[in-house]
Amino acid sequence: MEKVIVTCDSGVDPLNMDNMIPATIIENKDKTYRDVIDIDSKSILEKTKNGSVFTTASPILSDFMDKFESILKDKEDVVHLSMSSGISEGSFNSASLAANELNDEYENKIYVVDTFTGATGGTLISEIAEHLRRKGYDAKKIVNYLNDIKKRIASSFYVPDPKGFIRSGRNKSELCKKEKALLIGLKTAVIAGIKFRVDFNDEGNLYTKNIFKSKRKDGMINFTKNIVNNENKESFESSAVVVGTLNEKYVNMDDIVTYLEDLHYFDRVIRRDINGVVASYGCDDLCGISLIKKPLG
């Protein structure tokens, strides 16, 4: 049986951090951190409240090279899960560059998967990959399976303060112009209870699904109930659902987990909170939920 190791960049938010390659977090254009290792989401959000502005970049190439080569030297293949190229093209390209260089030198190989997702969706696809690895799938079969299922991973994010998301420039929806107009009066909008639902589409781009009003305390639980409930739950695979947040302020994540468990449908309800890549453009109570849609027909 071929040995396979699954690696991820930090934007994928794996449960197992042993083989995570950290993205780069940049504060005020000059100070850099490695995600999770040097700074976490709560620290980023706190610094943002004090006036810092954060941006992100892909993991550094040497981190990819070092991690991949250490695995290849142990005669194991690598399946690397990259945060969607739709929001981090550099992460996918850097991983692919490292893979191409090292694949020429070693008998074992590196396979890079553009996951088309991140955050809670990344946690979900990484759990699928680990499950397949434990079942004894070889690297090529894992990659083929992931490339088939990734467009069925539905990830939605509850964004109570959209300022950072708008600033990120990662929105690919038709609502983008409306968002920019909204940004001008954002303080008024937030006070008025305006929230964003932001989804990954099946090409790995983020887009605004809708803009709605909600009380911040009840927003995420109502958001979750709208996405999955007793009426529509069987349109999703029952294997797992993943939820997470950047930092609980008004939202109670235990309530979200309990609601999902009380549907008595999912084999696993996984809570995995979100890393600094998202926090750089996020806010308190930004939450995600990810499920696997059943294939049509």
**Strands 31-34 and 4-9, bridge-based pairing:** unpaired
When pLDDT is averaged across residues 35-46 and rounded to a whole number, the result is: 95
The model's confidence at residue 278, banded by pLDDT at 50, 70 and 90, is very high
Taking domain 152-292, whether its CATH number is 3.90.1150.10 is answered by: no
- Mean pLDDT calculated for residue range 271-292: 94
The pLDDT value given to residue 167: 73
4-151 and 152-292: same fold?
A: no
Task: Work out the mean pLDDT of the chain and round it to a whole number.
Answer: 91
pLDDT on residue 213: 82
157: Cα separation from own chain's centroid? 10
Residue 37's SS3 state is coil
Angle at 41 between CA 35 and CA 42, to 5 degrees: 140
Residue 63 has pLDDT above 50, yes or no: yes
pLDDT tens digits for 161-172?
888 877 766 555
* Listed range (31-40, 90-99, 202-211) with the worst mean pLDDT: 202-211
pLDDT, position 208: 87
What are the residue ranges spanned by the domains of the chain?
4-151, 152-292
Per-residue confidence (pLDDT) for residue 191, from 0 to 100: 47
Report the CATH fold assignment for 4-151.
Rossmann fold (3.40.50)
Say if residues 279 and 44 touch (Cβ distance below 8 Å): yes
The mean per-residue pLDDT over the stretch 291-297 comes to 90
Residue 240 tokens, joined: 């797992």
Pairing state between β 287-292 and 240-245: antiparallel
142 Cβ contact list (under 8 Å, min separation 6): 4, 6, 79, 111, 129, 132, 133
- Residues above pLDDT 70, as percent of the chain: 90
